[in-house]
Structure 1
Amino acid sequence: MPAANPCINICRMDLAGKYCQGCRRTTVEIGLWESMTEVQRIEVLADLPLRALGRGASQQPTSGRS
């Protein structure tokens, strides 16, 4: 089963302009989601809870490249 898209239709960026307030993805990750590999999607999904707490593990947005 493919990794579910985390979009919850609250599409606006946080005050820092880094993450969507709804799904906590970057604009790059949102744009590349459909073309990401399953592994890349799982990596993004794994980081979302930390981002919600303001402690995202990723220093750079996922580029969509392996």
Structure 2
Amino acid sequence: MAKHLGLNTKSHSDISVDSPCVRNCCLDQDEVCLGCFRSLAEILQWNRATGAEKQAILAQSLLRKASRQTKFG
């Protein structure tokens, strides 16, 4: 019925989030990919994660990337 009324029934878990994988997979000593900056655990979790979980993973990977660029220029 919600669809009939034109209401948006999508939840945050239904959000489609593209993988940040750039096909440059190489893990550092902390098991973080140097291509997408996700941890190995996050990479393995990706296909089972909800949209909200994927967004959280992306946020963490962006923080790691920024931190690495600050340290190593």
Name the structure with the higher helix share.
Answer: 2
> Could you tell me how far apart the structure 2 residues matched to 1:17 and 1:46 are?
18
Query: Given the alignment of the two structures, is residue 35 of structure 1 paired with residue 40 of structure 2, yes or no?
Result: no
Q: TM-score, normalised by structure 2?
A: 0.65
**Secondary structure of residue in 2 paired with 1:53:** helix
The residue type equivalent to 1:5 in the other structure is: S
Give the superposed CA RMSD: 1.6
Return structure 1 stretches of 4+ with deviation > 3 angstroms: none
Q: Unpaired segments of 5 or more residues in structure 1? A: 56-66
**Within the alignment, does 1:12 sit opposite 2:26 as a pair?**
yes
1:54 partner SS: helix
Q: Whose Rg is larger? A: 2
Deviation at residue 48 of structure 1 after TM alignment:
1.9
Unaligned runs of 5+ in 2: 1-14, 69-73
Partner of 1:3: 17
Q: Structure 1-normalised TM-score? A: 0.71
Identity of aligned residues (%): 31
Residue identity matched to 1:22: G
